[in-house]
Amino acid sequence: MRRTSHPSGWVFVLLLLTAIAGFLTPASGQQRYTVVGRVLDAVAGTAVSGAQVTVAGTEFGALSDATGRYSIRADVPAGTYTLQVRFVGREAGTATITLGDQQVVRAPDILLRESAMELGEIVVTGTAGPTSRRALGTSVVSVDASSIADAQVTTIDQALQGRVAGATIISNTGTPGGGVSMRLRGTSSITGGAEPLFIVDGVIIDNNGDQQINVGYRSNPSNRLADLDPDDIERVEILKGAAAAALYGSRANNGVVQIFTKRGQIGAPRITVGSTVIRGDLERSLPFALTPLDEDGAAVTRFDHQDLIFRNSWSSDHSFSVSGGADRTRYYLSGNLVDQEGIMIGSGHEKLNVRLNLDQGFGDWLEVKAGANIVRSQTDLQINGEQGTGGLLTSIVFTPTTVDLAERNPETGEYVNDAFVFANPLSVVEDWATPQEVSRFIGSLQATAEPFDGLTLDYRLGYDDVDLGTSLFIPRGATGSPTGTALSTNRASSLLNNDLLANYQWGVGQSVDMTTSGGLNTTQEKVRNLNLSASDLVPVTELVRGAVQSASEGEVETTTVGVFVQQQIGLADRFFLTGGLRWDASSTFGEDERWQLYPKLSGSWVISDEPFFDGMPDFFSQLRFRGALGYAGNQPTLGQAYARFARYGSTNNVGRLGLVPLGQAGNPDLRPERQREWEAGFDVAFLDDRIGLDFTYYDQNIEDLLLTRPFASSTGFASRLENVGSMSNWGTEIELRTENVNSESFGWASTLVFSQNENVVDSLAVDPFTSGYNNRVEQGHPVGVFYMDAFRRGADGEILSDEVGPLETLSDSIVGNPWPDFSLSLANDVRIGDRLTVSFLLDGQFGHQVWNQTQRIMDIFQAGPLYDQLLRGEVTPEYRTRIQGIFEAYLEDADFVKLRNVSIRFDLDPTWFRGVGVEGAQIQLQAQNLYTWTDYTGYDPEVNMFGLSTVARGVDFATYPNARTVGVGLRLSF
Amino acid sequence: MPIQTIRRGVVALLTVLSLAACDLDLTDPNNPGEDVVEGSISGMLQVAVGLQAEYSNEIVDPIFVSALVADEVGAGGGTFQYIQELDVGGSEFDNTNGSSEAPWAGQYDVVQIANVLIQSAPGVGMGEATLSGVLALAKTFKAMAFGNLLMTFEQIPTDVDPTEPSPDFDSRDAGIEEVFRLLDEARGHLASTAPSAEFTEEVLAPGLDLGQLIDAMTARYALAFGRTGQAMTAAQRVDLGSFSEFRFDANDPNPVWNLMAAGGNSTEMRPEDTFRLGAEEGDGRVAFWATEEDIEGANVPLDAHARYGSNGAAILAVLPDEMRLIMAEAQAASGDLATARALINEVREPCSSAFDEPVACLPPLTAEDLPDAQSVRDQILYERRYELFGLGLGWDDLRRLAPAEVKYMFMPVPNSECDRNVNTPPGLCTIG
C-alpha cells in the first residue's frame, strides 16, 4: 500500500510537543510588576502589533497586540529599567521606566520609526543566517504584519498585491478560494513552472494550482496560498531572482517568498478576537444585447442573464488568537473561520484554520520551535470557462438574450428553456454539485543551538501534507447526461524538507567581521492522484457509484539534495562582500548532470557611513550602493519528473500484456533550467530620512530552457525533453517612500512602487509554437505574445478595409502582449488625530492586452454588443460576420488602475471597556477592488482562464470575475 | 551525562536527520523505466509481446497507402484531401500528410522496439532457447518493417538509434540487403537453437509460426525486390500446409477495420466497386473481401468491407497461395511456363480451405489460355489482386507486373524526417 504521509514527521512533532509541555514551569521572582504601554508608529501614529518589548537585562517581555498595547509581568527587584522594542523592518525604540512601590506601571508610548531606509532590518531568507539588510547586495523585499493587518485581506497574496516592486500578482479568477498567480521579475520558463518557491517558517509548501477534473476546462485553478491565514503572518520576505536566491539552488529560478508566522512572547496571555462581515458584488456588467428588437425590427423581449447568475454576497471572517509564555516557554495559538459567499450563485468557500506555535528554550544554548497548522476548507465551485456543459457564465454568453432562462413550467416546477446549447444554469445550480475539499497539515520544527560562542547550528524539519479532492455530480436526467455522471479526483501531496545550517561568526582585528556558513538540505515531494468516474448513477447518492465505473491512479516522487557554503566579510560595518556556492542534485536530473553548481557573489557599500561622506550636503542622509551576481535553477516539472529515462507503456496483443516504449525518449543529460542574474542598485535617503528611494536594475539570462524537441521519426521516438532554449528578462524597480506630513494631529506617508520588465525569447531550438489559445512562443519575441488572426494592415500599419468593413490577414500574426510594460502602485497611510487612520492602495498595470473571447462568443451567439449594434441598425450583418471572424477585433488594451484596497480604522478608547477586561478595541472599514479605471470592456482586466499557466496568459473566456467587496470589522484584545 | 556529550550528540543527530532520505535514483511508479524493462527477463519478454502488438497495429499504414494506389480501396466522400489524391493518383499533397508520416513513423517504431530486444535481451540472463526465439522474432519483425518501408519509400536509413538524431540513408540496395541479412540471422537463431516452450507458448502470438513466417517473408520481399531466385528458394521452404495470421480482438482491434471502417468520415476507405466488377465470374475470393453496396465515394462508387468489416478479423501473414504465386512468378521468369500454370491452377481450383482464407473455386487455365510469359504474368497479377487484397502488396505488384499502371513510384520521405534529419537526401522529400 502506497502512502503519501510520512508518519515519522508526525511522531516527531508530537514527541516534541509533549516534551515542551513538560517544561512549563511557573515563574518565580523577587517582586512582581506589571508593565503596560503602547507601541505606535512614529509617523502614522498607528498601533504596531507584534513588536517585541523586553525589559533590558532580563528575560521578561511581551508582544504588542493589534492595538499596539503590551503588558509585561516582570519578577525583578525595584529599580530603573530600559524597555527595548524590536520590530523587524523598523528601527529599534526604547523607553525608561522606574519600578517602585506601584505594582502596575504605565510606560510612556514607544514610537517606532519605519525608517525610510531600513538598513538595520534583519533579513533571513536567501542568506545562510540572519543578516542585516545593510550587508545584502540584493533587493530583498519585506512586508510586515502591520501592512498586512492594514490591508484587511483574506488571503496573503492579496496583501502583497501592489506592494512589491518587481512582482506581478494577478487574480486569475474571482472564484472564492481561487487562484492567484505571482511572477517575480517576469517569466523565467516556458514549459516549466514560473511561480516562486513558497516557504512558511522554513517549510517548503505546496503551491499547486492544478485544476482538478474539467469543471469548465481551465476555469477553476486552485490556490494553495488561500489556505494560510493572513492574521498569522508576522512578516514576508521576497527574493526576486537568482542573485538573491542562489542558496535555494535548483528550485529558485522564479524567486522565493518566505512567510514567517507570529510566535508567543513571555508574559500574561494576550487574547485577541476579531470579526469582519463583508459584502461583495459585481463591479461592472457586460454589455449584453438588450435592444428589444429582433433582426427584422420586430419587438421582442430580451433578458439580461447576468441578473440571474450574479448576486450580492455576504461573507464573514472570524479570528481568535492567544499568545504568551512563561520562563522559557512561549506559545501562540490562533484560529480563523471564513465563510465566504461568491458573487456568482451557488459558489462559496468555508475554511477553518488553526495554528499552534510553541517555542521552548533549553539551558542557554538550545532553543526548539515547533509549529503546526491545520487547514480544512470546502469550496462550492461552479463550472465556467470553455467547456460549457453546466457552466453558468459560459451558458449565458452562449445564449441569445431572447431566451427566458428563468421561466418555469408551472406544473412540474422545472425550467422550461435550456441555455441554447447547454443546460439551464439555474437548474445546474439547483441540481448539480461541484464541491472541492482541502485538508492540510503544515508542520515545522526548528532547533537552534549555540554549542559555543560564535557558532549557531540550526536544524529545520518541514512537512506539508495536502489532500485536495474535487467532485462533479451531474444528476440523472440532466441535459446531455441522461443517466448522470459522477467524477471524483483526489490529489494527495506531501513535501518534506530537512535543513541543517551552521553559522560561525568571527573577526579579524577590530574592524573585519567574518561570517562563515554552511548547510545541507534535502527535499522530498510526493504527489498521488486518484481519479474515479461513474455513469448510469445509483439514484439518491451523489458519490461515484454507478453501473459503469472506472478508476486510475498516478504517483510522482522527487528528491532534491543540496549542500552550500557561504562566506561574508564585513569591513568596518560599511563594506560587505558575500560569496556563496550551492551544489544541488535532483532525482529529476540525468545521471551525467546530477550535481549542479550555483555560485553567487554580492557586495554592499554603505557610503554614507564613510568619514568622507560628512562633507556631503545635509540634504543626503543615507546612501548605499549594492550589486550582486548569482545563479539558480528550475527543475523539470512533476509531469516530467522521470524524463531522464525512457519509459514503457502497456499494450495488448491478443489478450497478452506487452510493453512498448512511450513516445518520449529519455534524456540522460537532463539538467535544470539555469538563470544567471545580476542586479545593481542604490538606496538613498534624504531630508533626515523622510524620503527614501530604492533603485534596482536587473538582468536575467535563462539558459537550458526545457523544451520538448521533436525527433526525426527514424529514431523511433516522437520527441525528447531537452535543455535547448534561452531567454532574457531585464528591468527596473523603484520604490519611493515619503513622510509627507508628520505633525501631532495629522500624519501622511506614501509609498510609490514602479516595476518594469522586458522579456525576450533569445533562442528556441524547436519551431515556434502556440500555447493555450493564442499565446505564442517565438524567438525574438516576449514569451506568450498574442498570435492570432489579425486585421490586414497597410504599409503604415493602418487597417485595410473594403465596402463591408476591415479585412483580415491571410495568416496569423503577432498582435499584442499579455504582459504589462510597467506597473505602478501608490500606497498611502493617513493618520487623523489620535485614533483614526486611513490607508488606501492604488495599483495599476499598463501596456498589455487581454483577449476578450467572452465578448466574441456573446456576439456570435446573439448576446453581445456588436449584435446589439446590428439590432439598432448601426452595422450590417456582413460587417458583424466579418468582425466576429477576426480574432484581433477582440484583443483589447487592458491598462487598468484599481483602487485595490481602502481601509479605515478607528481605535476606540479602551477606558470605555475597562470593566469587562477589554484593553483595546478597533472598528475597521475595509474595501477591496472598490473601483477600476480601465477601457477594457470585460468584467475584469485581471483574469486569466489559464490560471497559473506559464505561457498562456491574458485570455478572458467566461472567467469568474473578481468581486468588489466592502466590509466592517471589530477587533478586541484582552 | 556531561553537557559536552549532549551537545555533540545533538549536533550528530541533526546531521544524520538532514542527510536521511537522499535517494536520487527514483523510478517511475506509473510506467516502468528503461533500466527496469531492459534489465529483466520478464521485461524483455513483455517487450517481445509489445513488438508483435506494435507491428500488427502499424501494418495498417503501408496497407492503406498501397491499397489506395493499387485501387483496391477507394476514398470515402469525406476523407482527407490527400487520401482522395492518392486514390486518383493526383499530386495535390505533400510529405506533411499521413501517407508519408504514418508508414514511416509506425514502421520505425517497430524497428526501435526490435533494436531494444536485439541489444538488451542477450544481457538479462534468459534461457538460451527463449533468447533464440526472442532474437529470431526481433530480427524478423525488424526485417519486415524495413521491407514494408522499402516497398513504400525509395531509400531509408537502417542504422538507426534514438541517440543519433540524423542517421545516414542507405542506398536502396544496401537497405534491401539489410532486410535479408536480418531474415537470414533470424533463421540461423532458430536453426541453431529451437525456441523454448516459454517462447512459443507465452511470447509468440497465437496464430503465428515463426519459422514459416521467416521463410514466407523472405520469399515475399525477395520477389518484391527483384531477387526471383531467392524468392523461389524461400517459398519452396515454406510448408504449404501451414498458415499464419495476426489476430485481433475487441481490446486489440484489427487496425485496418479501425482505420478504414470505424475511423470516421475522414479516413473512410472501402473496396472500390471495380474490384468486384473486374473479377472473373464466379471468383469466390471477391466475397471474402468485399460486399456489394452502393456507397458514394470521393472518386468511384464503393462496396462495403467484408473481411475488414469487424474488429476481430485476422490479417493474413503466411498464405500458401501467396507462396504458390511467388513460385509461379519465379518459374515464369525462368521460362518454365508449364510449372507456373500448374501453380496458378493450384491457387484457382480449390473450393474450400482448411484455413480462414479466400478461395477462388475457378476452372483451371490451360496453355491456350496462358500461352506466353506475358499472359502468365498478367494472370499472376490478377490472382494476387484477389488473393492478397488489403495486405499492402498491390502497389508493388503493379510496379513489378504492370509498371504502366503505377501512379506513384514511391511516397516522399515525411517532412518530420526531412526537417530533423540533416542527412536526408533532399530529392527524397518530394513526390516522385
Contact yes or no for A642 and B31 at CB 8 A: yes
At B329, is the secondary structure helix, strand, or coil? helix
| Residue B426 C-alpha from the chain's centroid | 26
Q: So what's the pLDDT on residue B15?
A: 60
Interface test with B, best of A558, A561, A714, A724 (most B CBs within 10 A): A714
Question: CB-CB: which of A366, A459, A654 is closest to B17?
Answer: A459
Q: Which conformational region is residue A780 in: left (phi greater than 0), alpha (psi within -120 to 50 degrees), or beta?
A: left
Cα Rg, chain B, nearest whole Å: 26
User: Could you count the other beta carbons within 10 Å of the beta carbon of residue A920?
Assistant: 23
* Average pLDDT estimate for B27-55: 94
Contact yes or no for A587 and B420 at CB 8 A: no
Q: What is the DSSP string of A165-200?
A: TTEEEEE---STTB-EEEEESS---SSS--SPEEEE
- C-alpha cell belonging to residue A158: 492579496
Q: What is the DSSP string of A523-577?
A: EEEEEEEEEEEEEEEPSS--SS-EEEEEEEEEEEEEEEEEEEEEEEEEETTTEEE
**Partners of A843 in the β-ladder:** A825, A898
Check if A595 contacts B (Cβ < 8 Å).
no
Residues of chain B contacting residue A558, judged by C-beta atoms under 8 Å apart: 26
Contact yes or no for B10 and A660 at CB 8 A: no
Q: So what's the pLDDT on residue A12?
A: 42
Contacts (Cβ under 8 Å, ≥6 apart) of A357: A261, A262, A263, A264, A331, A332, A333, A369, A370, A371, A372
Task: For residue A589, give the chain B residue with the closest CA.
Answer: B24
* Range(s) of chain A covered by CATH 2.40.170.20: 122-634+666-784+819-848+894-973
Question: CB-CB: which of B35, B157, B252 is closest to A654?
Answer: B252
Contacts (Cβ under 8 Å, ≥6 apart) of B339: B327, B328, B331
Contact yes or no for B24 and A587 at CB 8 A: yes
Residue ranges and CATH numbers for the domains of chain B are 38-162+176-258+310-429 (1.25.40.390)
Contact yes or no for A715 and B18 at CB 8 A: no
Q: So what's the pLDDT on residue B214?
A: 97
Check if A912 contacts B (Cβ < 8 Å).
no
Phi, psi for A201 (deg, rounded to 5): 50, 40
Q: At what angle do helices B228-237 and B210-224 cross, to 10 degrees?
A: 160
Chain B closest-CA separation from residue A252 CA (Å): 19
Over residues B281-315, the pLDDT tens digits come to: 999 999 999 999 988 988 899 999 999 999 999 99
Q: What gap in Å lies between CA A129 and CA A814, rounded to an integer?
A: 47
- Among A865, A844, A856, which Cα is nearest to A942's? A844
Question: CB-CB: which of A556, A559, A659 is closest to B24?
Answer: A559
At B172, is the secondary structure helix, strand, or coil? helix
One-letter identity of residue B364: P
Over residues A286-339, the pLDDT tens digits come to: 999 999 999 898 999 999 999 999 999 999 999 999 998 887 889 999 999 999
Give this complex's ipTM.
0.91
Interface test with B, best of A713, A721, A766, A767 (most B CBs within 10 A): A713
A442: DSSP letter: E
CA atoms within 13 A on the CB side of A703: 3
- C-alpha cell belonging to residue A65: 497586540
Residues of chain B contacting residue A667, judged by C-beta atoms under 8 Å apart: none
Q: So what's the pLDDT on residue B221?
A: 97
Over residues B163-212, the pLDDT tens digits come to: 888 899 999 999 999 999 999 999 999 999 999 999 999 999 999 999 99
CATH architecture of A122-634+666-784+819-848+894-973: Beta Barrel (2.40)
Q: What gap in Å lies between CA B384 and CA B394, rounded to an integer?
A: 8
Check if A205 contacts B (Cβ < 8 Å).
no
* Range(s) of chain A covered by CATH 2.60.40.10: 31-112
Q: What gap in Å lies between CA B363 and CA A825, rounded to an integer?
A: 95
Letter string b/e over residues B313-340, b meaning 16 or more CB atoms within 10 A of that residue's CB: bbbbbbbbbbbbbbbbbbbbbeeebeeb
The percentage of chain B sitting over the pLDDT mark of 90, rounded to a whole number, equals: 81
B-contacting residues in A 835-864 (Cβ below 8 Å): none
Chain B closest-CA separation from residue A200 CA (Å): 18
**Partners of A340 in the β-ladder:** A349
**Are the CB atoms for A407 and A398 separated by under 8 Å?**
no
Chain B closest-CA separation from residue A963 CA (Å): 41
Fold entry, domain A31-112: Immunoglobulin-like (2.60.40)
Interface test with B, best of A715, A720, A721, A766 (most B CBs within 10 A): A715
Residues of chain B contacting residue A522, judged by C-beta atoms under 8 Å apart: 18-22
Higher pLDDT, B379 or A811: B379
Phi, psi for A404 (deg, rounded to 5): -95, 100
Q: What gap in Å lies between CA A328 and CA A362, rounded to an integer?
A: 7
Q: Which residues of chain A have pLDDT under 50?
A: 1-29
**Are the CB atoms for A55 and A81 separated by under 8 Å?**
yes
Question: CB-CB: which of A658, A666, A711 is closest to B49?
Answer: A658
Contact yes or no for B31 and A457 at CB 8 A: no
Q: So what's the pLDDT on residue A115?
A: 54
Residues of chain B contacting residue A463, judged by C-beta atoms under 8 Å apart: none
- C-alpha cell belonging to residue A582: 550551492
Q: So what's the pLDDT on residue B432?
A: 60
A303: DSSP letter: -
Q: What gap in Å lies between CA A288 and CA A299, rounded to an integer?
A: 17
Contacts (Cβ under 8 Å, ≥6 apart) of B230: B180, B218, B222
Q: What gap in Å lies between CA A710 and CA A722, rounded to an integer?
A: 10
Look over chain B and give the mean of its residue pLDDT values, rounded to a whole number.
92
Residues of chain A contacting residue B164, judged by C-beta atoms under 8 Å apart: 715
Task: For residue B161, give the chain A residue with the closest CA.
Answer: A715
A800: DSSP letter: P
Q: What gap in Å lies between CA A111 and CA A626, rounded to an integer?
A: 30
Q: What gap in Å lies between CA B277 and CA B253, rounded to an integer?
A: 30
Question: CB-CB: which of B17, B25, B420 is closest to A711?
Answer: B420
